[in-house]
């Protein structure tokens, strides 16, 4: 089988300049051009940039910030009190309630006492309250009135929670 000549005396034509150079001094560039070593240009690094991983920007299992709904407060046993017979104003004892006058409060799981029905107290629209102090506030029921007055009640599992109005 035949082999290639060593090219000691051979000449080659440069693809870049078209000039003749000794064959042993010729090199092949990255783009396939056969050029003399004086004409050689290495591949520019921006032609094929190194692949790199994108910067991490998101979090896995991220949760958006949200506004928590206020949790109802468990009232102590018999937190409701009527004033006098024939009144429809109920005083609620709730320690450090943090409420203001004209806040709307809804009650859950109350029981009937002193002629005021649980259905009326547990009204879904809630009641606008009047703050008495940091531990008590009052509200007025719509249809019932106290029969004897100065009676506590409301049960042992009453909850007072803010009313959330959805559009």
Domains and CATH numbers, the chain: 11-43 (no CATH), 73-162 (2.40.30.20)
Whether the predicted pLDDT of 46 surpasses 70? yes
Cα maximum dimension of the chain? 129
Residue 27, pLDDT above cutoff 60: yes
Tokens 């006098």 -> residue: 84
Q: In angstroms, rounded to a whole number, what is the distance separating the alpha carbons of residues 82 and 22?
A: 115
Strand, helix or coil for residue 61: coil
CB-based contact 79:94 (threshold 8 Å): yes
Of the listed ranges 25-29, 32-36, 96-100, 159-163, the least confidently predicted one is 159-163
Query: pTM score > 0.85 for this model?
Result: no
What is the pLDDT, as a whole number, of residue 156?
A: 54
Task: State the Cα–Cα distance between residues 38 and 18, nearest whole angstrom.
Answer: 13
In angstroms, the CA 32 to CA 15 distance is 10
For position 166, what pLDDT does the model report? 43
Measure the CA–CA gap between 19 and 39, rounded to whole angstroms. Answer: 11
């Amino acid at each position: 089988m035949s082999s290639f000549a060593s090219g000691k005396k051979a000449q080659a034509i440069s693809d870049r300049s078209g000039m003749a150079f000794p064959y042993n001094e010729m090199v092949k560039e990255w783009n396939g051009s056969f050029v003399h070593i004086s004409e050689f240009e290495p591949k520019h690094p921006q032609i094929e940039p190194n692949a790199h991983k994108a910067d991490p920007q998101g979090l896995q299992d991220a949760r958006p910030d949200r506004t928590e709904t206020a949790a109802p407060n468990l009232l102590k046993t018999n937190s409701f009190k009527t004033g006098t017979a024939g009144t429809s104003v109920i005083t609620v004892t709730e320690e450090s309630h943090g409420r203001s006058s004209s806040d709307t409060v809804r009650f859950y799981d109350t029981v009937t006492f002193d002629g005021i029905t649980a259905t009326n107290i547990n009204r879904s629209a809630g009641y606008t309250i009047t703050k008495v102090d940091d531990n008590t506030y009052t509200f007025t029921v719509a249809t019932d009135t106290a029969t004897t007055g100065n009676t506590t009640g409301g049960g042992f599992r009453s909850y007072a929670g803010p009313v959330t109005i959805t559009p």
